[in-house]
Amino acid sequence: MGIQPSMVTRPLRAVLFDRDGTLVRDVPYNGDPALVQPMPTARAATELLRRNGIAIGVITNQSGVARGLLSPADVAAVNERIDVLLGPIDVWAICPHGAEEGCGCRKPAPGLVIRALHSLGLRASDAVVIGDIGADMGAARAAGAGGILVPTPMTRPEEVRDAPLVAASVLAAVELVLAAEVAP
């Protein structure tokens, strides 16, 4: 059950996607653009947002950089491939830190959401985060944005149970956004 459309006080102006497991298949510590495969319906979802004038951002933890498994250039190359496959992304917000570093940007902390929205000139109430795990929903909640979980086999049952809203696919999540069924 979502928020009733009459409860949405401002039109949603941005969708911030998690990258791995949401927009593209999760290949652990992927630094190879040739391995990038969009998730089913991801292209249709991003096209629908663009047609409706909604900004698209990606917020992604990339701890492989901190672990020495990826370089920032590797992450950029994968992101460029995503831009080719799904169309241009308006803003990328990347956390290169490891979990043990205690930074404010690694999801579920709100830093990536805040950084992406700042780059777009928007407030948290203007946005929804779409992701596949509880950390994505935690970041949305901590920043004051709406959240929609798109479960995958990696999503834990309690993450589904605790999600503010759940959709069967990335496209279904975007359709909920456009129907104003979500709010912070």
Instruction: Answer for the pair 154, 21: CB distance below 8 angstroms, yes or no.
Output: yes
Q: Count Cβ atoms below 10 Å from residue 68 Cβ, excluding itself.
A: 7
Residue 91's SS3 state is: strand
Q: Is 136 a catalytic residue?
A: no
SS3 letters across 136-173: HHHHHHHHCCEEEECCCCCCCHHHHHHCCCECCCHHHH
Are the CB atoms for 150 and 167 separated by under 8 Å?
Answer: yes
Active site residues: 18, 20
